[in-house]
């Protein structure tokens, strides 16, 4: 079984083996364990679409620049935004948030906005689904979900998870815990602007914890049976991604999604021949996948467009029932 799983994982690596039949990654569910191809540079799904300029850092300018500082265009876009209700689509919620951030010249890069949106759109549905299954299996009356965004920066990704899931539609409460060594000034600005659009994302539901990852995970108590944890992390450097994954396993998180970066040294413990043949990046992420698999998680790969970042692979894991 293990050998077959390794072969399947290696076959899915782009540019290594002949491609398998084309299928959408969203068809690869926890209970549908079929082989699917992997697109390492998919098209944009979100409302912020970036041109591939060959250097993602060229998109490191404020979100207002996405509208070319055109006040008339911004005002027109703002006037067209619908009132957000429990039935508002995810696309319209994201569009309203992006427009509001741009209109108020929010201190966040276009690149980071696109990254957070694409991260959510390629993992959020699975993560929420896994959390719902966990709560159903636990059978608690008073239930809640918690998004733990680790090494979060300004915390936009975690807040988008909450923004795109209206409490009435979710039918349970959701809180967001953002963790990083220090809270940047941009965080409260972004939270308040998102709250203007989605009032349920506010100081009462979003908590920023100033701590390094080690300190947070050691102080954190195991979640109650009435709470399902969704752990996410975007570009936690090097072995910090491994620490996030280990914490997810130890805390019995319903799901964990990471987008690794800075792979130097992350393939340690893997056979030299595998590293030499497939490279450190592929070897490290396969090792991480098997760690999750062996600890009770269904694991898949996803990706965001390379126009945002070359470190664009997501490891998406859902706890098996």
**What pLDDT tens digit does each residue of the chain (321 aa) get?**
444 444 445 444 544 433 333 333 444 444 555 556 789 999 999 999 999 999 999 999 999 999 887 787 787 777 777 789 999 999 999 999 999 999 999 999 999 999 999 999 999 999 999 999 999 888 765 679 999 999 999 999 999 999 999 999 998 999 999 999 999 999 999 999 999 999 999 999 999 999 999 999 988 766 666 789 999 999 999 899 999 999 999 999 999 999 999 988 888 888 888 888 988 899 999 999 999 999 999 999 999 999 999 999 999 999 997
Q: Phi and psi for 30 in degrees, rounded to 5?
A: -60, -30
Question: Total structural domains in the chain?
Answer: 1
Beta-carbon count within 10 A of 279 CB? 14
How many contiguous H segments (helices) and E segments (strands) does the chain have?
10, 7
CA distances from 246 to 122, 252, 257, 295, 300 (A): 22, 10, 12, 10, 17
Instruction: Give the residue numbers spanning the domain of 51.
Output: 2-319
CATH number (domain holding residue 22): 3.40.50.150
């Amino acid at each position: 079984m293990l050998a077959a799983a390794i072969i399947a994982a290696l076959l899915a690596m782009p540019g290594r083996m002949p491609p398998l039949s084309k299928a959408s990654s969203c068809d690869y569910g926890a209970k549908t364990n079929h082989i699917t191809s992997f697109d390492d540079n998919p098209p944009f799904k979100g409302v912020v679409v970036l041109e591939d300029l060959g250097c993602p850092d060229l998109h490191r300018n404020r979100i207002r620049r996405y509208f070319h500082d055109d006040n008339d265009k911004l005002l027109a876009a703002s006037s067209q935004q619908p009132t957000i209700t429990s039935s508002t689509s995810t696309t319209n919620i994201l569009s309203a948030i992006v427009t509001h951030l741009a209109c108020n010249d929010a201190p966040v890069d276009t690149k980071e906005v696109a990254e957070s949106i694409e991260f959510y759109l390629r993992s959020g549905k699975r993560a929420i689904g896994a959390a719902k299954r966990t709560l159903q299996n636990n059978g608690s009356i008073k239930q809640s979900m918690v998004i733990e965004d680790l090494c979060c920066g300004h915390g936009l990704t975690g807040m988008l998870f909450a923004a795109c899931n209206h409490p009435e539609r979710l039918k349970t409460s959701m809180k967001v815990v953002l963790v990083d060594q220090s809270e940047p000034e941009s965080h409260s600005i972004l939270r308040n602007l998102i709250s203007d659009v989605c009032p349920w994302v506010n100081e009462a539901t979003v908590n920023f914890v100033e701590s390094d990852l080690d300190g947070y995970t050691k102080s954190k108590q195991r979640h109650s049976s009435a709470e399902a944890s969704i752990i996410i992390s975007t570009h936690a450097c090097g072995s910090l991604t491994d620490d996030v994954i280990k914490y997810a396993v130890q805390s019995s998180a319903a799901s964990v999604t990471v987008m690794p970066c800075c792979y130097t040294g992350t393939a340690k413990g893997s056979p030299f021949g595998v590293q030499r043949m497939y490279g450190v990046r592929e070897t490290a992420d396969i090792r991480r996948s098997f760690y999750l698999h062996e600890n009770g998680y269904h694991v898949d790969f996803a990706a965001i467009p390379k126009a945002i970042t070359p470190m664009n692979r997501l490891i998406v894991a859902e706890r098996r029932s």
